[in-house]
Structure 1
Amino acid sequence: MPIPRSILGEDHPDMDLEVVAGAWPDDARGHFVVSTSDQRSHPLHAFFGDGIIARMPLRPGPDGRFPWRARVLDTPSVRLKRARPDLFTAGPVGTSSPWGFVNCANTAPLPWGDRLFATWDAGRPVEVDPVTLEFVAEVGHRDDWKPAMDQAVLPLISSTAHPVIDPDRGCMWNVSRDVLAGTVSVIRYDGTGSRVHRWDVENAVLPQATHTITQTRDWLVLADTAFKVDVDEIFGADRTVANNPDGPVLLIRKDDLKPGVSTVTCKEFRIAPEVNHFYASYDDSDGVQIVMEHTPGVDIGMYLREDDLDLRGRPIDPALRGMYCHGMTPALTTVLQFDPETGQVRERARAHDSSRWWQAELSAIDWSMEGQTDPTRHHLVYIGFHPEGINQRALRNYEGRIDTSLFPAEETPAVLVSHDRDDLKPLAEWTFALDDYPTSPSFVPRGQGGTRYAGSSPGGHDGYLVVAVHNDDRFRVELFDAADVGRGPVAVLAPPPGTTVPFLIHSAWMPEARPAPDVERHRFADDLDARLDQLDPELRTLTREVAEGFGG
């Protein structure tokens, strides 16, 4: 049973980690930050619990240990739920209530200089104090986001878990999508103020989701991503939908996103197979080049139930209830080049090895402007083949699209691979133990101080990879030389034996941890208006009390 049984535990302890192997290098600096889902909020799907963010400095304290601190984000959603937990109902795609939909803010940490945000696919980004990890504010007034479903207080805003920070324009780009029609809008947040800017994209539909967006110097890139909502499942039926095998890619010229304009045009392409995460080279002088992490046979919307049978026909272990269904195909990654003038798409490189089994969220790049302009490495964790994480319901839904002859006879371990960014050739790799479950890696530039993200030799090769690893014996944080992961970890941090944490989703590196700046932001009270009258008087009063608790 290689998937750790502690992976869906409920305890998120503060820990002090110490070096248990190797030697921690002096030029590993900054902070490792991680987002995840609080299993204590009892989500049906493990991805949809309340947001937690953790931070660990990459320099030891005076006692030689590394403090790991995790906090539940005390958002308006969380405060209302704590006050009236009886009124919140967990479902297969989130948690609803008379107030509306919980903004989980649990998927990805997003550093922006010295500021830190937490994101997810169905809510506004949430700003977090990098030092205390306390909730600061949601980004922008709810009406500016054109909610997919408006409610009395907590609207459903179908956004992206991976907004991008524009280094030239000094803004955050995001999206808002209508979950029923699939129409999409671009959102810009300039870092201060209570409002965001929105442009509707003409004649554009993303029918499933927008889990990721990426950018070049001149273009925003949106793609339909492989997460499909099953309406019947929401009302209690079994999930029977399968993700679309292909989908549109939209290129939007940044210069067209002007003040005073409400709509914008796009260049539309179509790609296959389906995709979840993707990363563009910032330099678009030779066309728009994007690393596409395809996800054929990966259905994140499918989760494991206690009455499920796994791929081998065995009952699902109750310890894995709520875990997302693991991949049913080997992994596929490509570099695609899009020509906005001709509408042509050209495949420049491909990584496909039948022994590498799927990656859903496990990649690392150099996020500096210099690193994105001239990337050298794309680091991937392939999580391995785990038949106990694949249920028979998913196999039925994808019948005809899954080549069962490719299933290995035995489970396979996770592998960390560094790929050349241009041709995707594997340059080095490290195989984990079969009972290890590595999580999202982060690239750390070597020796960088201050608030710039660039290292002395940017691109993804000159620095370190930080990888948090689940194991039932104890949790570990491993540090690899990004230039040669095949050496194995140069240092390993761990808490006392037997200490574990629940699964972690996405991670990031930030160079400093400084208090959130004192700037004008949106206030929760600003979202409260006549729509509050939809609630009973008792709930209206409670809502105003929560707003007062945030200072207004």
Structure 2
Amino acid sequence: TAPLPWGDRLFATWDVGRPIEVDPTDFGVIGEVGSAATWGPPTLELGGLMPFYFSSAHPVIDPERNCMWTVKLTPNPDLTMQLTVVRWDGEDHRVATWPLPGTLVGGSAHNISQTRDFLVLADSGNFKTDPAEVMGGERTVTIDSEVSLYLIPKDLLEATPSGSEVAAERFAVSPTTGHFSACWEDADGVRVIFEHQDLMDLGWSIRSDDLDAAGHPVRPELAGMYHMAMAPSTLSEVVFHPGTGRSTPTARVRGDWSWNLQLSALDWSIEGLSDPRLHHVVYQGWRPDAVAQRVLAHYRDRLEADPLGGHPAEPGVGALVTFRRGGLEEVGRWEFDDTTDLAASPTFVPRRPGAADDAPTRSRHAGVDPGGHGGWVVLPVLSDRGFRVEVFDASRVADGPVATLSAPAGTTVPLQLHAAWMAPRAGPDLDHERLDFVGDLNPDAVAALTPELRRAVHEVAGSSDRVDAGQR
């Protein structure tokens, strides 16, 4: 799902597995984060070669405790899931885990965030399992209108033996949210910016026999695509008050133009997260060709109750919009007038990263003026005319791109989800113990493979003797 830098190291992260460390120079696989022995029983017993875990597509790197925080999800009989916090110090194959009793999620833990003192976990309620669909029937389950958010003190986790339960404090968030980010400083409360997904149900996909929102047969190339938003998206800031169960909304943006909020670019340095100034958001516009009448029928009542629930007659333009943190005032906008363009996955690149003479204590990945304005927004744009990457001055997005990189000969890219910036380096960091994936292989599953597939496993492992012996 996403690239996650950790200093000079790079990880590939997803909802349906452990994070995987990759070589930042050629993306070769280095090893998974944590052994199955320390992660504990798999989420589901699928009988595959490797244990299966539901996790988070967006773990976080703690710059002060020098660790990675993520989660493991365990299903309940009613198809909700319970959260377990997972902590990895990056040094060997061991992780620490803490079950969080009562932390039920109906969707997933797609995104997690943190402050100096708290982990911030939320139910990403935009994808829910439908038991009837699992058994081969038609999908009828719809997304929630409100989801849970949990705060967990980091000090409490680290003072508790691994494997022991830790209590989390619950809050409510509405509407459902795909991605969110907390301000690092939390002395005055836990301040979170939410990129909500109003009536965007990722449990549904476009089918080849669907009619789109305008009543036309769907384009064949969209079959299998995720279902896009049926209502405009909300951007909000909320302050949560630990120990009280209370939260205070401080800003909210939603309009007839804010369709399909996709992703955002922000300054991920500790300086930028401590005092965020600008937040850059990509909206992909109203996309009637990626909305099915079959799904609209299931949401008719909720759409009719929504003041912005009507649908424009024509596709809407996408936009890169800059908001000032604190009040979410719009300070810059660049629109993509061609509605066949699909801007996706912006990332922030700081100007002059690394310590300088004027700021010797600045972290390596902070720019000269941290906060989301002193640098560049790098934005991929998908188009049938050819893939391109546009670069904007982060402080002057409304001026348009200052540079564009175009793919040769109209080269296209089918889809883009998430991007990240990291400082260049010569090669992978080899100073840490890595997990040998052979140790997590299921020997019974290996033995049941065809000879051809078994040879492929041996080739990846580098030694058939080690695999056949089932070494752990």
Give the TM-score of the pair, scaled to structure 2.
Answer: 0.90
Q: Which residue of 2 aligns with 1:4?
A: none
Task: Supply the distance in 2 between the matched residues of 1:201 and 1:474 (Cα, whole angstroms).
Answer: 47
Deviation at 1:529, TM superposition (A): 5.1
Q: 2:97 and 2:452 mapped to 1: Cα distance?
A: 31
1:288 maps to 2:190: yes
Match of 1:386 in 2: 287
Query: What are the superposed Cα offsets for residues 439-468 of structure 1, whole Å, 9 maximum, x if unpaired?
Result: 110000012258821011101011100001
Structure 2 CA distance for aligned equivalents of residues 528 and 110 of structure 1: 25
Tell me the residue number matched to 1:102: none
* Conserved 8 A contact 2:50-2:442: no
Q: Does 1:439 align with 2:351?
A: no
Distance in 2, Cα, partners of 1:270 & 1:531? 44
Structure 1 residue 548, shift from structure 2 partner: 2.6
Q: CA deviation at 1:356?
A: 1.5
CA distance in 1, matches of 2:444, 2:38: 16
Distance, in Å, in 1 between the alignment partners of 2:227 and 2:377 is 26
Give the structure, 1 or 2, with the largest relative contact order (CA under 8 Å, sep 6 or more). 1
Cα displacement (A) at 1:517: 1.5
Bigger mean CA offset, 179-188 vs 375-384: 179-188
Q: Aligned partner of 2:323: which letter?
A: H
Q: Distance in 2 between matches of 1:260 and 1:347?
A: 35
- Counterpart of 1:270 (choices 172, 175, 181) is 172
- 2:233 pairs with 1:337: no
Alignment of 1:488-499 (within 5 A): 488-499=400-411
1:540 deviates by: 9.0
Partner residue, 2:433: 520
1:240 matched residue in structure 2: 140
Return the alpha-carbon distance in structure 2 between the equivalents of residues 139 and 550 of structure 1. Answer: 22
For residue 543 of structure 1, report the CA deviation from its aligned partner: 7.3
Q: Is the 8 A contact 1:413 1:431 kept in 2?
A: yes
CA distance in structure 2 between the partners assigned to 1:246 and 1:386 by the alignment: 25
Q: Could you tell me how far apart the structure 2 residues matched to 1:155 and 1:299 are?
A: 28
Other-structure match for 2:227:
325
Counterpart check, 1:148 vs 2:43: yes
For 2:221, what is the secondary structure of its paired residue?
Answer: helix
Deviation at 1:233, TM superposition (A): 2.2
Letter of the structure 2 residue corresponding to residue 386 of structure 1: R
Deviation at 1:155, TM superposition (A): 2.5
Mapped to 2, the partners of 1:544 and 1:254 lie a distance apart of: 39
Equivalent-residue separation in structure 1 for 2:52 and 2:299 (angstroms): 29
Name the residue aligned to 1:399: 300
| Distance (Å, rounded) in 2 between the aligned partners of 1:430 and 1:536 | 53
Counterpart CA distance in 2 for 1:290 and 1:303 is: 30
Whether 1:172 and 2:59 are equivalent positions in the alignment is no
Name the CA distance, whole Å, in 1 between partners of 2:463 and 2:386: 38
- Give the conservation status (yes or no) of the 8 Å contact 2:80–2:107: no
Distance 1:405 1:359 in 2: 16
Q: Counterparts in 2 of 1:49-448, with a 5 A limit?
A: 107-146=1-40, 147-150=42-45, 151-179=47-75, 180-225=79-124, 226-258=126-158, 260-261=161-162, 262-360=164-262, 362-403=263-304, 406-432=310-336, 433-448=338-353
What is the CA distance between 1:392 and its match in structure 2?
1.6
Uncovered stretches (5+) of structure 1, i.e. residues with no partner? 1-106
**Alignment match of 1:511 (pick from 423, 434, 445):** 423
- Equivalent position SS for 1:356: coil
- 1:61 aligns to what? none
Rounded to whole Å, the distance in 2 between the matches of 1:382 and 1:550 is 49
1:550/1:417 Cα in 2 relative to 1: closer, same or farther (>3 Å)? farther
Aligned 8 A contact 2:2 2:419 in 1: yes
CA distance in 1, matches of 2:463, 2:371: 41
Distance 1:474 1:513 in 2: 30
Taking the aligned partners of 2:213 and 2:450, their CA distance within structure 1 comes to 51
Q: Within 2, Cα distance between the matches of 1:186 and 1:265? A: 11
Which amino acid in the other structure matches residue 429 of structure 1? R
Aligned-pair CA distance for 1:227 = 1.4
d(CA) in 2 for partners of 1:489 and 1:164?
Answer: 30
Name the counterpart of 1:11.
none
Between the aligned partners of 1:547 and 1:468, the Cα distance in structure 2 is 33
Shift of 1:514: 3.3
Q: Structure 2 CA distance, aligned partners of 1:163 and 1:242?
A: 26
Q: Measure how far apart 1:532 and its partner are.
A: 4.0
Q: Distance in 1 between matches of 2:119 and 2:133?
A: 33
Q: Quick one: distance in 2 between partners of 1:541 and 1:428?
A: 56
Q: Distance in 1 between matches of 2:398 and 2:450?
A: 62
Using the alignment, how far apart are the partners of 2:106 and 2:234 within structure 1? 22
Q: Is the Cα contact below 8 Å between 1:223 and 1:248 reproduced in 2?
A: yes
From the superposition, tell whether residues 537 and 319 of structure 1 become closer, same or farther in structure 2 (CA, over 3 Å).
closer
Distance 1:531 1:344 in 2: 51
Question: For 1:159-215, what per-residue CA distance to the aligned partner results, in whole angstroms no more than 9, with x for missing partners?
Answer: 011000000100010000123341110011111211211110122211211000000
The verdict on how the C-alpha distance between 1:322 and 1:537 changes in structure 2, with shifts beyond 3 A counting, is closer
Deviation of the 1:546 alpha carbon: 4.6
Contact residue 365 and residue 442 of structure 1 kept, 8 A:
yes
User: Which letter maps to 1:319?
Assistant: E
Aligned-residue RMSD, C-alpha: 2.0
Distance 2:244 2:81 in 1: 26
Q: Which moved more, 1:179-188 or 1:531-540?
A: 531-540
Q: Counterpart of 1:391 in structure 2: which amino acid?
A: A
Q: Say whether the 8 Å CA contact 1:152–1:531 is kept in structure 2.
A: no
Q: CA 1:439/1:337 → structure 2, altered by over 3 Å: closer, same or farther?
A: same
Aligned partners of 1:300 and 1:324: how far apart in 2?
A: 6
Provide the C-alpha distance between the structure 1 equivalents of 2:428 and 2:135, rounded to a whole number of angstroms.
41
> Structure 1 residues 544, 130: CA separation in 2 closer, same or farther (over 3 Å shift)?
closer
Q: Which residue of 2 aligns with 1:56?
A: none
Counterpart in 2 of 1:480? 392
